[in-house]
Amino acid sequence: MLLADVALPVPIGHAFSYLVPEALGAAVRAGARVICPFGGRRLVGVVLALRDAEPPRGAKPLARLVDGEPAVPPDLLAFLQDLATYYFAPIGEVVRLALPPIDRGTADALGQGPTLFGRTRGVSPRHVRWVMATSAVEGPGALRGQAAAVLAHVRAVGAAPVALLEGQWKSARAAVKRLTQLGLVTVEDRVAPSPPPFASPATRDAPHDATPAQSAAIATIVAALREARSATFLLQGVTGSGKTEVYLRAIAAARELRRGAIVLVPEIALTPQLVARFRARFGDDVAVLHSGLTSRERHAMWTRLRAGGVDVAIGARSALFAPVERLGLVVVDEEHDPSFKQEEGVRYHARDMAIWRAHRAGGVTVLGSATPSLESEQLARSGRATKIRLPDRARSQPLPRVELVDLRRIAPGPTGDRRISLPLFRAIEETLRAREQVILFLNRRGFAPSVRCTSCGQPVVCAACSVALTFHKGTSSVRCHYCDYDAPLGAACSKCGEAAFELEGTGTEKLEETMAAAFPEARVARLDRDVAAGKKVEAILARVRKREVDILVGTQMVTKGHDLPDVTLVGVVNADAALSIPDFRAGERAFQLLVQVAGRAGRGDAPGRVIVQTWDPAQEAVALAARHDVDAFLERELANRRELGYPPLSRSALVRVDAADEQEARHACEQLSRVAREASAARGGQVDVLGPAAAPIARIRSRWRFRVMLRARERPPLRETLAAVDRARPNLARDVRASIDVDPVQLL
């Protein structure tokens, strides 16, 4: 019997076997989507493999084949299987990452019941009603007015969309109805061509003359592409060194070799300029994948890629799964960015997996950053990646001068707010006077990060999470940044009943207000998650570019790759915030943020200046960022990690457990730790089992959180221990959720 092993979108690790009905036989191939009966439902799955074997008892036949041509090409399918194994993730959920939205016909075949794709109606092509003239002839005087005009027009052009006729004749619809009754025209619904992928056509640009450093970088990458050698490059270029131009030329070279490319960027909404540059170079041959697309648009993009009509895909981490044909190049821009790690569902790291996918396809990976991650640095040091440097800015502007302001010694400026020191205040004044722009970076959104009862000292905390609530002035409410809690500040303290609260600290909302009050002539704008999602980010950045904003206040959103030539001053309001997080990567993260935000200054003709406020200028990450000394930072941080046995000089995984009941969560975590310890002992104790311990944020959304950290020098013993934990997961109490996070990034 012919059997198909099918990945179904259910949280069960393995594939399911189905009989392949004779009628489908040869048409079913690996990578094709099929509809399978499952329990009382029908699900869309993907065929992983076909084999001849004795069918298992109770095996059911496949209900239907969805694709003629497999939705997932063979190299992508193999990659997805590797990924699932590596992350201990259910294959069905992994495969789903690579699938397009399902079409209407498939949705109908699934029936109306809820599917694991959500209750879906499916994507259907848009239809347009056309009118065509018949060979019938009207009697004399039979038609008057618009009907006569419409008929004459349709006869002249042969066929026309009704919508177009309506643009010209107001009662075209009624006229068409009348003409149809008379048998003079017929109507037909035709599938509309998919809408043009972009609302506006791209303005094409000509490549810059590459600088010598860019030329050398391009030559190295192109040589690997020509030899079809799978190689990884770490492109370490200072901010403004023109990394994008290197990507563009490498992609052009790949296309000449008839190879496709994928470009991953941290957050596509924050990089409209970058996308514009790709479109300017390659026109509509670029598929831009972002979360703002409708299902129909996503379906259309996917179809164009899969059919080979487009060979460059650009998008956030999920673009890693784009069905690009003959993949030759994967670029990961700002490879150090933590957003490449997916923190829910399948917890994959798009940067690490980019290397795998390119490797499988015999392609080249380019990891680009001004501040490489320690992981990529270690790849380069161990010879698994080749470092290429762009040491200077492309238009030879100097890197901005960075001044450290010691908040312990320097007085507040005229605003009276300690957060705006006198030197920062004066620098803003000077910049505004010179009619240049300012960016102020503060990594706290909201108005006041905490609220406290002045009578008993009790902080206002979330009822469901163990975190302080943030006061948001815009909505005049307190919000939890971990769950959706958002409510007016209570009239009285929950503990002592007094009605006296004090707002503590400064968030971006307050900073914006302070700036507007201190510099009444200046136009102030804010960029953070509260004001900006998707298209709104673009609008705010466009206003900054058009010089309609003098001071831009924002969270880490302002540190991204923006190329704003008139920004000459960058102020970092509190450099210490990122350093106080309980995470071994806090120093790395703080360093990257500081260097990246500093890199926004002085990208045009006028030199840039950066003011970093800190309570301790001696901290390594701060002091080295002030000198733009990336190499020294990497060297020291790597030494620290080696000494403490942290990644990338060890392998780690986090087992997370949560439950509504604290004891139940703790108990389950103890169970899994025991399993891990036993498995490790069986391997001579090669794996350190740290925990169980309460998570730094002990409770989120009313669930108590515990965890065990696993660490080993080498990967194989770690994998074996994780496999034991994975096998033990189904034995936990019902309400307990346990997840495995391989190479964890977020530790809170």
Smallest separation (angstroms) from Zn ion to the CB of 405: 34
Residue span 459-488 as binding mask against Zn ion, x where in contact by CB under 5 A, dash where not: ---x-xx--------------x-xx-x---
Residue 84 engages Zn ion in binding (rule: CB under 5 A): no
- In a 10 Å sphere around its CB, with 0-12 CB exposed, 13-18 middle and 19+ buried, how is residue 208 labelled? middle
Residue span 418-457 as binding mask against Zn ion, x where in contact by CB under 5 A, dash where not: ----------------------------------------
- In a 10 Å sphere around its CB, with 0-12 CB exposed, 13-18 middle and 19+ buried, how is residue 545 labelled? middle
Q: Position 691: which residue type?
A: G
Token pair for 302: 């996917």
Token pair for 232: 């990884």
Query: Do 127 and 190 contact (CB within 8 A), yes or no?
Result: yes
Token pair for 324: 């690009």
464 binds, among Zn ion, ligand ADP, none (CB under 5 to 8 A by kind): Zn ion
Smallest separation (angstroms) from ligand ADP to the CB of 599: 7
237 binds, among Zn ion, ligand ADP, none (CB under 5 to 8 A by kind): ligand ADP
Residue whose CB is less far from Zn ion, 184 or 451? 451
245 binds, among ligand ADP, Zn ion, none (CB under 5 to 8 A by kind): ligand ADP
Smallest separation (angstroms) from Zn ion to the CB of 468: 10
Strand 364-369 relative to strand 327-333, pairing = parallel
Residue whose CB is less far from ligand ADP, 304 or 600? 600
Smallest separation (angstroms) from ligand ADP to the CB of 561: 6
- Distance in angstroms (rounded) separating the CA atoms of residues 353 and 67: 27
480 binds, among Zn ion, ligand ADP, none (CB under 5 to 8 A by kind): Zn ion
Query: Do 620 and 587 contact (CB within 8 A), yes or no?
Result: yes
Residue 276 DSSP symbol: H
Token pair for 164: 């177009």
Token pair for 518: 């201190």
214 binds, among Zn ion, ligand ADP, none (CB under 5 to 8 A by kind): ligand ADP
Task: Give φ, ψ of 330 to 5 degrees.
Answer: -125, 125
Residue whose CB is less far from Zn ion, 191 or 697? 697
Residue whose CB is less far from Zn ion, 632 or 697? 697
Residue whose CB is less far from ligand ADP, 557 or 728? 557
- Distance in angstroms (rounded) separating the CA atoms of residues 525 and 632: 35
- Distance in angstroms (rounded) separating the CA atoms of residues 29 and 66: 11
Nearest residue to Zn ion, by Cβ distance, number only: 480
465 binds, among ligand ADP, Zn ion, none (CB under 5 to 8 A by kind): Zn ion
211 binds, among Zn ion, ligand ADP, none (CB under 5 to 8 A by kind): ligand ADP
Residue whose CB is less far from ligand ADP, 101 or 240? 240
Residue 444, CA distances (Å) to 282, 511, 529, 593 in order:
38, 10, 10, 14
Give alpha helix (H) positions in 206-271: 212-226, 243-256
Token pair for 495: 């503990």
Residue whose CB is less far from ligand ADP, 419 or 560? 560
Q: Which residues bind ligand ADP (CB under 6 A)?
A: 208-211, 214, 237, 239-245, 394-395, 561, 563
Smallest separation (angstroms) from ligand ADP to the CB of 269: 17
Nearest residue to ligand ADP, by Cβ distance, number only: 242
- In a 10 Å sphere around its CB, with 0-12 CB exposed, 13-18 middle and 19+ buried, how is residue 200 labelled? exposed
| Three-state SS at 701 | coil
Within 10 angstroms of residue 731's Cβ, the number of other Cβ atoms is 11
Residue whose CB is less far from ligand ADP, 103 or 563? 563
**Number of DSSP helices (H) and strands (E) in the chain, helices first:** 20, 30
75 binds, among Zn ion, ligand ADP, none (CB under 5 to 8 A by kind): none
394 binds, among Zn ion, ligand ADP, none (CB under 5 to 8 A by kind): ligand ADP
Binding site for Zn ion (CB under 5 A): 462, 464-465, 480, 482-483, 485
